[in-house]
A = this chain, B = another copy of it.
Amino acid sequence: MRARHFLLLGASVLAGSLLWTGRPVSAEPMEGRVVRLAELEIDPAQLEGYKAALKEEIETSIRVEPGVLSLYAVSVKGHPDQIRLFEMYASVAAYQAHLEAPHFRKYKTETAGMVKSLTLLETEPILLGSKFR
């Protein structure tokens, strides 16, 4: 009994440590994923307000929307008012649901007067290589 106990426990711990890397055993197919890029120029006088609204929108989307996989926000080095977003969704349906989500609409309304220009780029994924998925 004791030997079997440790064998089973050991197997469980081993399985846990393999999963610890964050890599799922079977990768989801990349084909369904939707990647959108955004390039924004923000009014420098309102940059802090914009970044606060953006962070809240990203945190909420990742937390409550199952199909919002990644929302990466960066600024161009030396040009903090030049923002780039890399957005990855699980499917077209997940992307469309995000556009209708109340926290996304709130972000759009709050930041409408802060954004000087916005360029959205739809994309075709070539390869989405990651340690995480």
Interface residues of A (CB under 8 A from B): 1-2, 5, 8-9, 12-13, 15-16, 19-20, 22-24, 35, 37, 51, 54-55, 58-59, 61-62, 68-77, 80, 83-84, 86, 88, 121-133
Copies of this chain, whole number: 2
Question: Which B residues are CB-close (under 8 A) to A15?
Answer: 12, 16
Complexed CA–CA distance, A84 and B122 (Å): 11
Which of B37, B84, B128, B132 has a CB less than 8 Å from the CB of A130? B132
For A122, A126, A129, which residue has the most chain B Cβ atoms within 10 angstroms? A129
Contacts of A127 on B, CB cut-off 8 Å? 54-55, 58-59, 71-73
Q: Are B129 and A62 in contact (CB under 8 A)?
A: yes
